[in-house]
Amino acid sequence: MNTLLKIEDLCAQVAGKEIIKNFNLTINEGEVHAIMGPNGAGKSTLSYVLTGKPGYEVTSGHIWFKGKDLLKMSVEERSREGLFLIMQYPVEIPGVPVTSFLKHAVNAQRQYNGEPELDTMEFIKYLREEAKKLGIDNEMLKRPVNVGFSGGEKKRLEALQMTILKPSLAILDEADSGLDIDAIKVVSNGVNALRNEHRSLLIITHYQKLLTYIKPDFVHVFADGHIVKSGDQSLSEEIEQNGYAAYTREQ
């Protein structure tokens, strides 16, 4: 089994504050990892460090993605190499319609892979089909990205972007928050449809519900900037029962 992502002794800070402390994690191809942890532990921070958001500064450690030094890559290169983040708080972009946004994204990826740009009509047809599977109607595709979208609609759009970009590693940062029960199913189906022996998932969630639809191979408890315990799916059940009290410093 090939290693897809290897994080070694990672320390990172935001606004001068150290949030990620000696973090280690290895994800092999095809694996599904779940991370659970209390509010403010640094889960989203980790996802931003991985995707290269400006302001998130790595002070020590390494991240290897497909054997390459991830920290040397720009934000867009990481994406084109196959890293994708479903953001906890998707950003609104007034004036940029969903369709043209996604077309730019897809063509940037195709260009990177040396493939010809997609024909607009073909792309729209394809996009509509994929959107339909996620319960997104054509009207929504014409609207500016995330503007006025409900919480659930935003997450569906994130899932659609993932479906279209077909990443090797998708990080789902609370992809389930704001989703109703049916929508969790729809989004999970979308994620599962994408899975194969080469693609991996890193799922950040507070609820075990999502993990019953997308079954994790490993569950990690994240507290105080690093993983404090790893186990299988039963760990998530235990946390749902008892909370994080046993894993936080205050204990």
Ligand X SMILES: Nc1ncnc2c1ncn2[C@@H]1O[C@H](COP(=O)(O)OP(=O)(O)OP(=O)(O)O)[C@@H](O)[C@H]1O
Which positions lie near Mg ion, rule CB under 5 A? 43-44, 88
Q: Which of 40, 67, 95, 114 binds ligand X (CB under 6 A)?
A: 40
The alpha carbon torsion through 232, 238, 244, 250 (nearest 10 deg) reads -100
| Closest to ligand X by CB, 79 or 88 | 88
Among 1, 15, 91, 121, interactor with other proteins by CB under 8 A: 91
The SS3 call for residue 94 is: strand
Per-residue contact string for residues 79-118; x = within reach of ligand X by CB under 6 A: ---------x------------------------------
Instruction: List the one residue from 44, 109, 177, 200 that touches other proteins (CB under 8 A).
Output: 109
Give me the least distance between CB of 171 and other proteins, in Å please. Answer: 10
Looking at residues 135 to 154 of the shown chain, list those that interact with other proteins (rule: CB under 8 A).
Answer: 144
Q: How far is the CB of 233 from other proteins (least distance, A)?
A: 29
Length of the chain, in residues: 251
Tokens standing for residue 28:
């092999």
CB of 180 closer than 8 Å to CB of 121: no
CA dihedral sign, ordered 131, 110, 194, 228? negative
- End-to-end C-alpha distance for the chain, whole angstroms: 38
Question: For residues 14 and 228, which CB has a smaller minimum distance to ligand X in the complex?
Answer: 14
| DSSP helix/strand/coil, 148 | coil
By the 10 Å C-beta count (0-12 exposed, 13-18 middle, 19+ buried), 162 is classed as: buried
What sign for the dihedral angle of Cα 195, 201, 205, 209?
A: positive
DSSP class per residue in 183-199: HHHHHHHHHHHH--SS-
What is 27-72 written as a DSSP string?
EETT-EEEEE--TTSSHHHHHHHHHT-TTEEEEEEEEEETTEEGGG
State the minimum distance, in angstroms, from the CB of residue 11 to other proteins.
21
- Cβ proximity to other proteins: between 93 and 193 the closer is 93
Residues of span 152-211 touching other proteins by CB under 8 A: 161, 165
* Interacting span for ligand X (CB under 6 A) from 15-23, 125-133, 139-147, 208-216: 15-23
Choices 33-41, 153-161, 181-189, 208-216 (CB under 6 A): range interacting with ligand X:
33-41
Catalog residues that contact ligand X under the rule CB under 6 A: 14-15, 17, 19, 37, 39-45, 88
Interacting residues with other proteins (CB under 8 A): 51-54, 74-76, 78-80, 84-85, 87, 90-96, 100-102, 104-105, 108-109, 112, 144, 161, 165
